[in-house]
Each structure stands twice: as structure tokens, then as C-alpha cells.
Amino acid sequence: MKIALIAHDKKKEDIIQFVTAYKSVFQQHELFATGTTGKRIMEEVSLTVHRFHSGPLGGDQEIGAMIARGEMDMVLFFRDPLTSQPHEPDVSALIRLSDVYEIPLATNMGTAEVLVKGLEHGYMDWLKLRKKQGEINDKQK
């Protein structure tokens, strides 16, 4: 599966701890991240991560484009709800795209853990349904 990892500045330590705790799960999947988050995961957790630009420079939008093309399966976005973000419209667009394309999205560690535990135990039937629906839509075009 293709998993996006994003964290606002005040949540970077949290995502590093989270990815470290579930390294055995994450190493089985293809990881994508915004700039600094991806760099830190690669350096501190020793996982391979495809890095995009930082969020304020378009990284959120790059991940959003993958979602729109059907190329992303899950997004873990550790948001800082107490700090104003200059690129908030991009954040909102990413969340909206996740909803439009039915991509599981966690915005905090608690929800991320539920998603990763489901991934770890193979509870991903929603993905099969989504891919089947995509095939049906493609045939109708």
C-alpha cells in the first residue's frame, strides 16, 4: 500500500515516535511524505520514503494529486490544531480529497493507530471495494 506521512512542525516528534513504534508495519509498504517529515523519518527511523516538497511549498498538494489519480491508499497527517498554518487552504483541500476519494485519513495519533493496526491485521476490505468500483467506473467511460 501507498501511505502518506505528514506532520506539522509541533507534531514531528509524535510522528517519528509513531513510525518507530510501527516500523515493522511501515517497512512493508511504500511511504511518501512531505519534505522535513520524510527527511526525519529516513534519518531517524531508517525507512525509505519518497519525499515531496514541504507542506507550505506544495507538498500537501502533491499528495493530493496522488489521491486524485488513485495512487494513494492511506494518509496519516498529524495536525497541530492549536497553531495557525499559512497553508491551511492546502490542508483543507487534502482532507477534502481524502473524503471525495474515500482514502482513510488520520489526523491524530489515536486514529492513526487504529488504521495501522487494521493494516497490520489485514482489515483492508475497503480497498478491494474501492478498486472494484474504480474498475466499474472505468468500464462505463
**Residue 87 annotated as lining a ligand binding site:** yes
Nearest alpha carbon to residue 75 among 103, 114, 48, 111: 103
Which candidate in 60, 99, 125, 138 is catalytic? 60
Query: Does residue 60 carry a catalytic annotation?
Result: yes
Write out the DSSP string of 53-73: --GGGTHHHHHHHHHHTT---
Query: Any binding-site annotation on 29?
Result: no
55 is in an annotated binding site: yes
Q: Give the integer Cα–Cα distance in Å for 57 and 6.
A: 13
Residue 23 annotated as binding site: no
Known binding residue 37? Answer is yes
Residue numbers annotated as active site: 60
Binding site for substrate: which residues? 8, 12, 34-37, 54-55, 87
